[in-house]
């Protein structure tokens, strides 16, 4: 087949073309810009377009002066007319294999490719990608231990695939706006401190094996702290918000929420399978979650109408590091009810990164703020171990491993050290903290099923270390 570059001005669209292609022009423009002009326009001997009207309009919109053209010689006017109709109709007769399509989109997403360039619109992509949760290389509720020395520093913005994690202050609007990068969140799920000083009571468990939870003992200042955080949350979120809180400070949260301009809808009750032992007559076996949105605005809901406000989810299997740890499936349930695939989900109190893992599994883009640099390290490491991919530092694109080696020294024993309880038993090999010392190479999944024998397959030998203990601490 002979293909020749011909000036755009010489080509004439067919005046009676029955196919309206206006809505497709932008998608084809993006395709040409990304992949190049790979399909020639087919014309008759009079340079009237038979096949490729949309490509011609896209080329004009892009300012192209010449395009590849094939002249279909020897066709009668009737054949050219029939060919034109058949070419358009043939696409409608084909069907998609949804299972194979999901696999293709899943691989494209893992590669970080812009799915908009496939020509599928947001609703179609949401339907395709919002099905089963994506499997990871580790248990979703598994989190590494808190490092002795942090790699992350205040102001660091880490890029983790579609997600962003900022070491910053939830009450500082400038930090929140930097995290969002000019975008608005479609929804929020966040778990602020409870103002109960978990880490300061000698007889109680504390976050991170003795590590105090920041902003968890503010006393009378707690109300102002919550109001500032809620105000910032509502400023950059256009949809539903879920805010966790202890029952003892629930009234403080509700007042702060209303004062910040929020609308209260209900409290979702997380009913646990076991209670937390305390000094009360009745041992508490639930946690409330405020559900609402910015007053005077709309919110998105795609959950079924049979959804109740009492959610029965087991506590994480290992929860001795913090009494308020949330299971990923609980957060993922809220995310799937109140957002679409590829929507932005905000969490101003990132903690150990549960919201991030829930977003990774459900195909959303997470935006996490975390004040404590050590817990920023936990979040980044947890995502890297779950996905087998490398986080990069905004600004110079250096990977977490490279930055860690530069800041802490690759030969420093403390780089790979994490706090572990004496009773810790290693049940699975993983890259763990040692991987952070080395330049990460994007791992390939050895097999798609998870299990005790799961491991990463890379192009170089990576020392194996026991996985760190799970930690989930609320930090601000």
Give pLDDT tens digits for 125-167: 766 766 667 788 999 999 999 999 999 999 999 999 999 999 9
Residue 463 scores a pLDDT above 60: no
Calculate what percentage of the chain has a pLDDT beyond 70.
Answer: 78
pLDDT of residue 219: 57
Q: What pLDDT, on a 0 to 100 scale, did the predictor assign at position 441?
A: 35
In the chain, list all ranges with CATH 3.40.50.150. 135-466
So what CATH class is 135-466? alpha beta
pLDDT at residue 63 tops 90: yes
- Structure confidence at residue 78 (pLDDT): 94
Span 344-352, mean pLDDT? 96
Give the pLDDT of residue 341.
86
pLDDT score for 3: 94
Which whole number is the average pLDDT over 258-270? 96
* pLDDT > 70? residue 203: no
Share of the chain above pLDDT 90, in %: 57
Residue 204 pLDDT exceeds 80: no
Q: Which regions of the chain carry the CATH code 3.90.1530.10?
A: 4-93
Identify the pLDDT of residue 389: 94
The residue-averaged pLDDT of 200-211 equals 43
Residue 186 has pLDDT above 60, yes or no: yes
Q: What is the pLDDT of residue 473?
A: 37
Residues in the chain: 476
- pLDDT tens readout for residues 419-455: 333 333 333 333 333 333 333 434 433 333 333 233 3
Mean pLDDT computed over 205-221:
52
Higher model confidence: residue 104 or residue 425? Answer: 104
pLDDT band at 197 (very low <50, low <70, confident <90, very high): low
Q: Specify the higher pLDDT residue, 122 or 143.
A: 143
- Domain covering 4-93, topology: 3.90.1530
The mean pLDDT value for 52-66 works out to 95
Residue 256 clears pLDDT 50, i.e. is over it: yes
Q: Give the model confidence (pLDDT) of 296-311 as tens digits.
A: 999 999 877 778 999 9
pLDDT over threshold 60, residue 228:
yes
- Find the mean pLDDT for residues 74-85: 93
């Amino acid at each position: 087949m002979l293909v020749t570059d011909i000036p755009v001005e010489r080509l004439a669209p067919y005046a009676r073309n029955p196919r309206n292609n206006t809505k497709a022009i932008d998608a084809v423009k993006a395709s040409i810009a990304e992949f190049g002009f790979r399909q020639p326009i087919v014309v008759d001997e009079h340079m009237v377009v038979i096949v490729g009207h949309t490509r011609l309009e896209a080329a004009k919109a892009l300012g192209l002066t010449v395009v590849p053209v094939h002249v279909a010689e020897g066709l009668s006017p009737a054949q050219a007319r029939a060919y034109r109709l058949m070419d358009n109709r043939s696409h409608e007769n084909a069907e998609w294999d949804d299972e194979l399509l999901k696999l293709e989109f899943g691989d494209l997403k893992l590669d970080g490719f812009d799915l908009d360039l496939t020509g599928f619109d947001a609703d179609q992509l949401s339907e395709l990608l919002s099905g089963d949760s994506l499997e990871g290389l580790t248990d979703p509720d598994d989190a590494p231990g808190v490092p002795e020395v942090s790699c992350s520093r205040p102001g660091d913005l880490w890029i983790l695939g579609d997600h962003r994690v900022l070491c910053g202050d939830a009450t500082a609007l400038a930090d929140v706006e930097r995290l969002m990068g000019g975008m608005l969140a479609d929804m929020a799920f966040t778990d602020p401190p409870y103002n109960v000083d978990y880490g300061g009571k000698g007889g109680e468990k504390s976050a991170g094996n003795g590590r105090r939870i920041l902003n968890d003992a503010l006393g009378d200042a707690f109300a102002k702290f919550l109001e500032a955080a809620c105000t910032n949350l509502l400023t950059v979120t256009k949809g539903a918000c879920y805010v966790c809180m202890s029952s003892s400070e629930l009234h403080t949260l509700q007042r702060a929420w209303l004062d910040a301009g929020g609308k209260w809808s209900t409290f979702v009750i997380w009913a646990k399978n076991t209670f937390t032992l305390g000094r009360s007559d009745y041992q508490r076996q639930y946690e409330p979650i405020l559900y609402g949105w910015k007053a005077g605005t709309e919110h998105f809901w795609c959950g079924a109408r049979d959804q109740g406000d009492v959610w029965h989810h087991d506590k994480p299997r290992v929860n001795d590091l913090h009494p308020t740890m949330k299971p990923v499936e609980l957060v993922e349930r809220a995310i799937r009810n109140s957002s679409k695939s590829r929507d932005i989900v905000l969490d101003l109190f990132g903690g150990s990164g549960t919201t991030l893992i829930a977003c990774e599994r459900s195909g959303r883009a997470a935006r996490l703020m975390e004040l404590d640099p050590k817990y920023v390290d936990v979040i980044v490491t947890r995502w890297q171990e779950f996905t087998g991919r490398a986080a990069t530092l905004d600004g110079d694109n250096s990977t977490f491993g490279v930055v860690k080696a530069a800041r802490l020294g690759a030969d420093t024993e403390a780089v790979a050290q994490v706090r572990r309880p004496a009773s810790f038993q290693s049940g699975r090999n993983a890259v763990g903290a040692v991987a952070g010392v080395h330049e990460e190479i994007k791992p390939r999944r050895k097999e798609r099923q998870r299990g005790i024998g799961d491991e990463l397959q890379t192009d170089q030998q990576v020392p194996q270390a026991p996985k760190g203990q799970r930690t989930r601490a609320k930090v601000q």
